[in-house]
Amino acid sequence: MSAMGVLAPPLRLGTRRSALALAQSRWVAAALTARSGRDVTLVELTTRGDADPAALDVIGGTGVFVTGIRERLLAGEVDLAVHSLKDLPTAPASDLVLAAVPVRADPRDALVASGGRTLAELPPGARVGTGSPRRAAQLRALGFGLDVRAVRGNVDTRLARVADGTLDGVILARAGLLRLGRDDEITEILDPGQLLPAPGQGALAVECRAADADLTALLAGLDDPRSRFAVTAERGLLAALEAGCTAPVGALADVADADADADVADADAPPELYLRAAVVSSDGARTIRLSITGPTADAAGLGRRLAGDLLDAGAADLIGESR
């Protein structure tokens, strides 16, 4: 309420129309209202990625779920936007700020398969759907002889293809299934040793205009430092590899918990970040998998250094093949 007793207008939050995007945006809206007492109205928008049914690597991938919303944000038609962080281009957006990375949900991939089966229980030739070149490449690299099929559509559409027998299984982000209350349909949570998730998977990005200092400060209250450290390392790696969100690159950073047995002298040491990454050829025949450890304060630098190690090992050739 202003000094004159007039209620501030609701904040307009731009979001995609999918059930998952709306669930994520409602969660952010509720958290923001709880912190500030200010109402938040969702403004449903359509992006190129929603309107074009072609495969992501055909329509460009990077930014297709984000650009349209950013344009409305810059035009002042909405005050803030919520994205799945894995969809966010790594290049900074002029005049916008990543004001908050809320607490990250489980970043791992999950299998939903008919008959409650795991990947290892699916027979050779089983039809497994995914819209992600990263997941497809890593699935082929496992050597199970699966028939990996490209599939687009929202979560309901993909799960329906398992229910009706069109597919034997689909791979989805566990975070999305959790947010939609459909995690009970998961038949296997995939170990990152098998499938490394996309950089930023499971995390949300809350953007606003850089010039809106008051809103930037308000949104900063939703930021989770551990989640931001992790995704900063993962996105630093992706940027240094010059690979977009459709490239066959998996990465996952974990912030180490404080060791209860650590010496008192080490108690004030910055927490450590463990970053692992994999680049896989599209046919799954070649995989480069490396890791690095360092302080969270150097998250972006760790990502860049691990990217350099991957490039030294030949990652550019595998990324180039995917293009």
The answer to whether the CB of 295 falls within 8 A of the CB of 271 is: yes
CA distances to 39, 206, 213, 271 from 81, in Å? 15, 6, 15, 30
DSSP string, 120-153: TTSPTT-EEEES-HHHHHHHHHTTS--EEEE--S
Q: Which candidate in 16, 70, 104, 135 is catalytic?
A: 135
17 assigned to active site: no
The answer to whether the CB of 130 falls within 8 A of the CB of 110 is: no
134 assigned to active site: yes
Q: What angle is formed at CA 229 by the lines to CA 35 and CA 63, rounded to 5 degrees?
A: 85
d(C-alpha 211, C-alpha 205), whole Å? 18
127 assigned to active site: no
d(C-alpha 95, C-alpha 90), whole Å? 15
174 assigned to active site: no
Q: Which candidate in 87, 109, 209, 235 is catalytic?
A: 87
209 assigned to active site: no
The answer to whether the CB of 64 falls within 8 A of the CB of 36 is: no
Q: Which candidate in 48, 152, 182, 286 is catalytic?
A: 152
DSSP 284: S
d(C-alpha 114, C-alpha 118), whole Å? 9
Q: Which candidate in 86, 140, 179, 276 is catalytic?
A: 86
108 assigned to active site: no
Q: Which candidate in 70, 109, 140, 245 is catalytic?
A: 245
Q: Which residues contact 237 (CB under 8 A, 6 or more apart)?
A: 199, 249, 251, 275, 277, 303, 304, 306, 307, 310
182 assigned to active site: no
Q: Which residues contact 211 (CB under 8 A, 6 or more apart)?
A: 95
d(C-alpha 235, C-alpha 89), whole Å? 9
- Known catalytic residues are 86-87, 134-135, 152, 158, 245
